[in-house]
Structure 1
Amino acid sequence: MAELNSLEELGQATETEEVQAPVHVQKLDEHGRAYATGKRKDAVARVWIKPGTGKITVNKKDFSEYFARPVLQMILQQPIVAAARDGQFDVIATVTGGGLSGQAGAVRHGISKALTHYEPALRAVLKKGGFLTRDSRVVERKKYGKAKARRSFQFSKR
């Protein structure tokens, strides 16, 4: 009977313990930078952020030089503007693979993740804006017996 009472006490103790939400902590390297990897389509971006004047460098070039189209430049700055940290962080990114649009999306994803590593309190704002979600759409592979992924060869009656 004593064993049953002790088992009941154990059961009550586990019921009263609340499940806590995961605590996000600041993740910095030895140089005081936050690092993150961003991905979109076939593009992969490695992004480092550190406190600075707001300079964004992509593949050792200024971002306005690397991404000439204003739409791509706007995409890059979206997470920084949404987090109200414009001009407070220097961003250094190296991006490979894919086209310019995919690369811009990959850098945006990387900047968003790096901001949450540097300032975990920004996670809610960036998550609500949809910047932390990886856009998983990729090009569909070509199938045999087809001209492209889904398009069939032209039909000829004779």
Structure 2
Amino acid sequence: MAADLQSLQDLAPQEEPAAPVHVQKLDGLGRAYATGKRKDAVARVWLTPGAGRIIVNNKDFTEFFARPVLQMIVQQPIVHAERSGQFDVKATVSGGGLSGQAGALRHGISKALTYYEPELRGVLKKGGFLTRDSRTVERKKYGKAKARRSFQFSKR
């Protein structure tokens, strides 16, 4: 009898593990905070509901990132999530160059958007905005002029 009961339990459909539930993560002031990284640059991002202003190191982002390509990179996650003009972004970036800082800010904004609105995670993940671009500069090796470049060969 016990063996029959055991075999019936084995045949019963197994419950599938539930998908991870993502919850809203806000600080005491109602802001979503995230850190974005790219190359050697690090961006600390605070996201609040607002008029769509993006402030980077106490400057407007169009002033901080003068090149239109960098401005487009910074705005990509907000435009892709169709949330233009709904959130204010305040960020501090440090390290690296302007291109790396723009990439770090894009990564940080994407993460902060998912913390504020967890249902946007699928859209941003599909767009590739939540993946940290891990490409960095290769280190210099001893006996080499740069990472791989050898010194000029002299026969005599």
TM (normalized to structure 2)? 0.93
- In the alignment, which residue of structure 2 is the partner of 1:151? 149
The residue aligned with 2:30 is 32
Structure 1 vs Structure 2 CA RMSD: 1.5
In the alignment, the residues of structure 1 paired with residue 5 and residue 63 of structure 2 have an alpha-carbon distance, to the nearest angstrom, of 70
Give the fraction of aligned pairs with identical amino acids, expressed as a percent.
Answer: 78
Aligned pair partner of 2:107 in 109, 115, 118 = 109
> Are residues 1:142 and 2:134 paired?
no
User: 1:78-130 CA distances to partner (integer Å, 9 max, x unpaired)?
Assistant: 00000000000000000000000000000000000000000011111111111
Q: Counterpart of 1:66?
A: 64
- Residue 94 of structure 2 is matched in structure 1 by 96
Q: How far apart are 1:20 and its partner, in Å?
A: 1.1
Question: What's the offset of the Cα at 1:64?
Answer: 0.5
Q: Could you tell me how far 1:16 is from its partner in structure 2?
A: 1.9
User: Which residue number corresponds to residue 47 of structure 2?
Assistant: 49
Q: What is the CA distance between 1:11 and its match in structure 2?
A: 5.7
Structure 2: distance between partners of 1:140 and 1:19: 41
2:123 alignment counterpart: 125
Structure-1 separation of matches of 2:8 and 2:59: 65
Distance in 1 (alpha carbons) for counterparts of 2:64 and 2:50: 20
Aligned-residue offset at 1:17: 2.2
Other-structure match for 2:81? 83
- Segments of 5+ residues of structure 1 without an aligned counterpart are none
Tell me, what secondary structure is at the counterpart of 2:42? strand
When residues 12 and 60 of structure 1 are mapped into structure 2, their CA distance, relative to the original with a 3 A threshold, is farther
Task: Please give the per-residue CA displacement for 1:56-93, whole angstroms capped at 9, x wherever unaligned.
Answer: 00011110111111110010000000000000000000
* Whole-angstrom distance in 1 between the partners of 2:132 and 2:99: 14
Q: What 5-or-longer segments of structure 2 have no aligned partner?
A: none
